[in-house]
A and B are shown apart, each in its own frame.
Chain A
Amino acid sequence: MILLVMTYSNGRLAKASYELATAAQHLVREGKRTALVIGSGIDQVASEAACIADQVLVVDRPELEHYDPELWSAAVAQVARDRNAHTVLIPATRSGREYSPRVAVRLDAPLLEDVVSIEDKDGALIAERYCCLTRVSEIVEAKSTVNVVTVKPGAFAAAAASGQPCEKLALQVELPQRRLKVVHKSKEATDRVPLTEADIVVAGGRGVGSPQGFTELIGNLADQLGAAVAATRAVVDAGWRPYAEQVGQTGKTVQPKAYIAVGISGAVQHLSGMNRSAVIVAINKDPDAPIFKVADYGIVGDVQKIVPALIEELRR
């Protein structure tokens, strides 16, 4: 069977989980598409997963209230082994990419990381993924009885939920002791749409001038468009914005329908996090900024004047 490890936030199944269901449809090897939900108090998530899979396995334990790479990998590997999964699909979120290597080692399986396409042919699993800071795509192939695959968020369309939920089955697994002790967590709350799920992303760089400039220009433009807010590494390092908004090599990877880069020069590390966006818009005062080379639309000019003009135009 194909094991799909569900991801969720605030008690709701995340978009990346629906995308996993679509990715699984590209695999022809037989077996049920089995969703695995791990956590504590996850009935709602399991019910939502039941609408995109052939069966749902639920590991619901108080110790699993908070994510931990060792607990998650132990649970996933055990279920995969006990139930003879030939393919384990995990969303390539930050946590998914953190615990999936441990699953692969436990199962002695290849790891196909952050894939954007997948197919199986003559006993081989073939996937496309990006490398060299997303400048190159490579085709990788694994020939193994069991494979672990992390699927890039946004690479597949979200599967539609069926009106006929499948069965749910509670499972017991053995869990190791938690060894990474989290002593404090600062979660950045936002009322906006999650960055990796947004159709439109408005991103700001140093060129917006100040934290206030960021709020006024980027925040207001994003709110006018119903968009998510993103920031460059430089802006996050300067303490203007929280890390959760960072896009690039060391932040999130996004591929929205439209990415609007404001006051961003376009370092290769930033481009690697957004250069798969369907449409890229750049606003920058420097006509030679590298961001314009990857832009579909752009304005060379003062962001302090252009962005308010854009907001006004959108309001009309």
Chain B
Amino acid sequence: MRILTLIRQVLDAQEGVHIAKNAVELNGRKLVIDTMDEYGVEEALRLREHGLQAEVIAVAIGSARVEEALRTALAMGADRAIHVETDVALDAIALSSVIAQIAQAEKAELIFCGGQQSDWDSQALGAATAERLNWPQATWTRALELSGSLLSGRHDTEDGVESFEVQLPAVITTQQGLNEPRYPTLPNIMKAKRKQIRKDPLDAYAIEPKLQTKGVAFQTRQRLRKILDGKDAFTAASQLVDSLRNEARVIQ
């Protein structure tokens, strides 16, 4: 079986955001595999380690620098990688077409995708890919088990937790809590340098972006930051309640 794990390279969450030329500045910034995607890589590797005959293929679409993220996935243990190289900003609906084409060409039966990409705060990629392939999807999974071609697991919904079953092929989106992604060891990092990364031009996939980003701005609000010392709990509580009632007017 072939398993695709989708990789997105994003700004490290610990890094501050900088804006330059009306876009989020990535040059000279620390970029990492989106943590949401690491859970997918890890889960694919675990399926294989539990006896599944599987080839794990990491797939990414993006600029030349995205190769670093793919090398990380290879160092974790993915077998090979496909890098569709482009500087064009693509939205999730356009990207899903590229991934679906790769899945078909590779005859993949299982695709892992992060539940939400932390750069564009989108949750669309997994579902859009599933629709293009006419596959079912299970999103925000917390536990997975494969038995033959039946995948069972648990996932989070609006108002609770569901246990589900789905027949492969399927698209699965991943999140924190599914597993604990491994750190690449030094020997595996060395080994990953020799693993194959196939480079495809975006032209090969004949797609157009569906959305244009017109500009970005910091999303900050001025906060009052009226912070009280709570050594005397009752005095502080009384002052806070007074502020919330009479200044902010948010409580009765």
- A residues apposed to B, CB below 8 Å: 9, 69-70, 73, 93-95, 97-102, 104-106, 109-114, 126, 129-142, 144, 179-188, 199-200, 225, 233, 237, 242-244, 249-250, 257-258, 268-269, 272, 275-276, 278-283, 287, 292-302, 305-306, 308-310, 312-314
Is the Cβ of A305 less than 8 Å from the Cβ of B230?
yes
Is the Cβ of B237 less than 8 Å from the Cβ of A129?
no
Cβ of B136 to closest chain A Cβ, rounded Å: 4
Is the Cβ of A298 less than 8 Å from the Cβ of B250?
no
Is the Cβ of B161 less than 8 Å from the Cβ of A243?
yes
Which chain A residues border B231 with CB–CB below 8 Å? 301
Q: What's the count of A-B pairs with C-beta under 8 Å?
A: 270
Is the Cβ of B11 less than 8 Å from the Cβ of A132?
yes
Which chain B residues border A134 with CB–CB below 8 Å? 121, 219
Compute how far the CA of A36 lies from the CA of B213 in the bound complex, rounded to whole angstroms.
30
Which chain B residues border A114 with CB–CB below 8 Å? 121
27 contacts between A and B (CB under 8 A): A93-B158, A99-B127, A101-B96, A111-B124, A111-B210, A131-B119, A132-B119, A136-B24, A137-B218, A139-B215, A140-B212, A144-B210, A188-B159, A200-B250, A242-B160, A243-B160, A243-B161, A257-B250, A272-B121, A283-B230, A295-B224, A296-B223, A297-B224, A297-B227, A297-B240, A298-B228, A310-B240
Compute how far the CA of A185 lies from the CA of B154 in the bound complex, rounded to whole angstroms.
9
Is the Cβ of B132 less than 8 Å from the Cβ of A105?
yes
Compute how far the CA of A179 lies from the CA of B137 in the bound complex, rounded to whole angstroms.
9
Compute how far the CA of A198 lies from the CA of B243 in the bound complex, rounded to whole angstroms.
20
Is the Cβ of B128 less than 8 Å from the Cβ of A181?
no
Compute how far the CA of A282 lies from the CA of B124 in the bound complex, rounded to whole angstroms.
33
Task: Count chain B residues whose beta carbon lies closer than 8 angstroms to a beta carbon of A.
Answer: 80
Is the Cβ of A298 less than 8 Å from the Cβ of B160?
no
Is the Cβ of A299 less than 8 Å from the Cβ of B227?
yes
Q: Which residue on B lies nearest to A188, using beta carbons?
A: B160
B119, B167, B237, most chain A CB atoms within 10 A: B237
For B4-22 the 0/1 string (1 means CB < 8 A from A) is 0000000101100101000
Compute how far the CA of A299 lies from the CA of B240 in the bound complex, rounded to whole angstroms.
8
Cβ of A276 to closest chain B Cβ, rounded Å: 8
For B138-172 the 0/1 string (1 means CB < 8 A from A) is 11100000000000100011111111111100000
Q: Which residue on A lies nearest to B230, using beta carbons?
A: A301
Which chain A residues border B217 with CB–CB below 8 Å? 136-138
Is the Cβ of A131 less than 8 Å from the Cβ of B136?
no
Compute how far the CA of A40 lies from the CA of B176 in the bound complex, rounded to whole angstroms.
34
Q: Is B190 an interface residue (CB 8 A)?
A: no
Q: Is B101 an interface residue (CB 8 A)?
A: no
Is the Cβ of B160 less than 8 Å from the Cβ of A110?
no
A144, A296, A313, most chain B CB atoms within 10 A: A296
